[in-house]
Amino acid sequence: MDISTLDLQQITGQGAPMDVLHPGTGEPMGGQLLLLGFDSEAVETAARDTARQLLAASEKPDQADFLRHLRIARAKAAVVDVIGGSGATQDVASVCSLLEQPGFAWLVDQITEFSGDRASFFKNAETA
């Protein structure tokens, strides 16, 4: 057994494509997001920085608001590319701006589920 090959920051930092699914039907919408895993250095740094900013604010958020901001920060940090985007969602910046809007919590949920699942990245690493 060689566990030295299981560096989660390195594996999840390579990214993996996630099909964007329609929130009502679960059907693929024809586009993908290239996502980093929540174990990646970039996502961990974004979460840590967001937590520090919220805790240092003069007006502290309540616990639910704190967790919502942290979820959105992780999701935004995880998005590194848009594949097959169209309309107003052709690039990373436009997708990330949607993640801040309450009506797109479904997309934050999809990113959180995919990027928080280490298996998503091992599948990609095995086919690379």
Q: Indicate the domain borders of the chain.
A: 30-127
In this prediction, residue 2 carries a pLDDT of 80
**HSE value, Cβ hemisphere, 13 Å, CA-based, for 15:** 14
Residue 98 CA to residue 116 CA, distance in Å, equals: 20
Q: What integer best gives the mean pLDDT of the chain? A: 91
pTM score of the predicted model: 0.90
**Section 54-59 average pLDDT:** 90
2-11, 74-83, 90-99 — which is least confidently predicted?
Answer: 2-11
Q: For residue 29, give the 3-state DSSP assignment.
A: strand
H helices of 79-118, in order, are 92-99, 105-115
